[in-house]
Amino acid sequence: MKIINWSLLLTLIFLISVSMTSGLELSASTGGNDGSSSTMVVFGATVDDYANEHIGLSPEDGTLSNCFKGTGSLPYGSISKSDGNGNYAQVYRRISGKPRATEYFYDWKTYKTTSSTAGPGVEAWLSLTATNAYSISGGSYSSNREGYNAQVNTNINSNSPTSSLTNYFAQATASEKGVDAWQISDSASGENIALYAKTSLGKNMADSSVKVDHGFLQDYRSEAEAYRQDEYMHMYAIHGSFEEKDHIGKISGDKIHSEGLTFNQKGFAALYDVTINYGSVEGRFDWGTETTSNGWVIAVPLESPAAWDGIQGDIGISALKISSNSAALDWQGIVSKDRANYHGESKYEELVNNWSGGYGFAKPGEAGN
């Protein structure tokens, strides 16, 4: 049996203070002799809340881990981790409005990779279920010492306590090789739902957002990733239902609007925006932006993952109206552009047959190699 010397690994400081105005505040910080550190802060706890923290070390691979679990009505909390080598990861959540019922779980770990070139890394992740709230938000962020940044977040707001987010997971990972931040939920509903994904490095950036009015999401995912591929960098920001799952995803609402922009250091840029009125998209689908530093960009209004060798599957679109615009530019001007508009005679008229080549109902903006 291996003996763990905790004093050489980290110093744990707990501070618990009670305030009549802000409730209970819990914060924890850890530091190791390798330069690593972790910070966890939770505000606004009440006597009905439960919280438990555990710090451990895996004797098999030297992985250091810290987790925080809780239930109750804590409105805000975050946890972050740095490994002392320039890698940083963070997840957070915020909930407001009573009544509400929440469950949440944070975890971070410093992991050792099997590849000698990849170097060490960090990751932090959040699990959250929140219902009957005015607003719910959560997300993740990661960065590394190369300057790669990636973030995703979800925000739900309602004028009454009807916002809901079920089985939400967010994770941020950073290493010497790249960064990745993603979020996924079984379902989300509210009067206003907004999702965001972005990754950047200097003059290279890819971002995408989705907004839904009086809508619903099912099995929906966002991801932003940046990594080095050969001698150049590759980054993307994507939303949709494109994972291997037993059931398919759906997004619906009075108005669904998605837009994104990407550009790189070669002077290429691409953008898109698509609006779906009184409609829904169901199946395996995605929308987002992508770029590489060697001179290539793409912005996709809506497509099947089969377009990039992803999962093949049927997609159904129903709407009163769909409008889409996309364009791509280089240093000389517009390289490609497309505009598509479809009108139905009534709400939720099937428009699935309007997809071109089985990959998308509108052409993406694309430029470069």
Q: In which band, very low, low, confident or very high, does the pLDDT at 263 lie, cut at 50, 70 and 90?
A: very high
Q: Do the domain assignments include residue 39?
A: no
DSSP-based three-state secondary structure for 352 = helix
* pTM of this prediction exceeds 0.85: no
**Beta-carbon contacts of residue 115 (< 8 Å; ≥ 6 apart):** none
- Does residue 215 carry a pLDDT above 90? yes
Our count of domains for the chain comes to 1
d(CA 74, CA 71): 8
Q: What is the DSSP letter of 360?
A: B
Lowest average pLDDT, out of 32-36, 115-119, 297-301, 304-308, goes to: 115-119
Please calculate the CA angle 339-223-88 and round it to the nearest 5 degrees. 135
CB distance 290 to 204 below 8 Å? no
Q: Which pLDDT does position 38 carry in this prediction?
A: 57
Position with higher pLDDT, 328 vs 361: 328
Mean pLDDT for the stretch of residues 92-112: 56
Name the nearest CA neighbour of 92 among 132, 123, 128.
Answer: 128
- Does residue 14 carry a pLDDT above 80? no
Please report, in angstroms and rounded to a whole number, the separation of the first and last CA atoms in the chain.
56
Q: Do the domain assignments include residue 12?
A: no
Q: What are the phi and psi torsion angles at 353 (to 5°)?
A: -70, -10
Q: Do the domain assignments include residue 14?
A: no
CB distance 139 to 109 below 8 Å? no
**Residue appearing with tokens 């098999």:** 60
Q: What are the phi and psi torsion angles at 176 (to 5°)?
A: -65, -25
Q: Do the domain assignments include residue 16?
A: no
- Does residue 305 carry a pLDDT above 50? yes
- Does residue 152 carry a pLDDT above 90? yes
Q: In which band, very low, low, confident or very high, does the pLDDT at 309 lie, cut at 50, 70 and 90?
A: confident
Lowest average pLDDT, out of 98-102, 206-210, 264-268, 280-284, goes to: 98-102
d(CA 150, CA 261): 15
Lowest average pLDDT, out of 5-19, 132-146, 184-198, 279-293, goes to: 5-19
Q: How far is CA 152 from CA 48, 246, 282, in A?
A: 30, 24, 22
Adjacent-strand bridge partners of 93 = 77, 138
Q: Which pLDDT does position 113 carry in this prediction?
A: 39
Q: Which pLDDT does position 153 carry in this prediction?
A: 96
d(CA 219, CA 237): 17
Tell me which amino acid residue 159 is.
Answer: N
Q: Which pLDDT does position 296 carry in this prediction?
A: 95
Q: Do the domain assignments include residue 344?
A: yes
CB distance 359 to 304 below 8 Å? yes
- Does residue 99 carry a pLDDT above 60? no
Whether cis (ω within 30° of 0) applies to the bond prior to 99 is yes
CB distance 305 to 331 below 8 Å? no
Q: Do the domain assignments include residue 61?
A: yes
Integer-rounded Cα Rg, in Å, for the chain is 22
Structural domain for 178, as ranges: 48-368
Q: Extract the tokens encoding 91.
A: 């997840």
Adjacent-strand bridge partners of 8 = none
Listed ranges 6-15, 99-108, 252-261; the one with the highest mean pLDDT: 252-261
Q: Extract the tokens encoding 362.
A: 């509108």
**3 state SS for 223-258:** EEEEEEECCEEEEEEEEEECCCCCCCEEEEEEEEEE
Q: How far is CA 234 from CA 124, 208, 221, in A?
A: 22, 16, 20
DSSP-based three-state secondary structure for 308 = helix
d(CA 111, CA 61): 8
Tell me which amino acid residue 34 is.
Answer: D
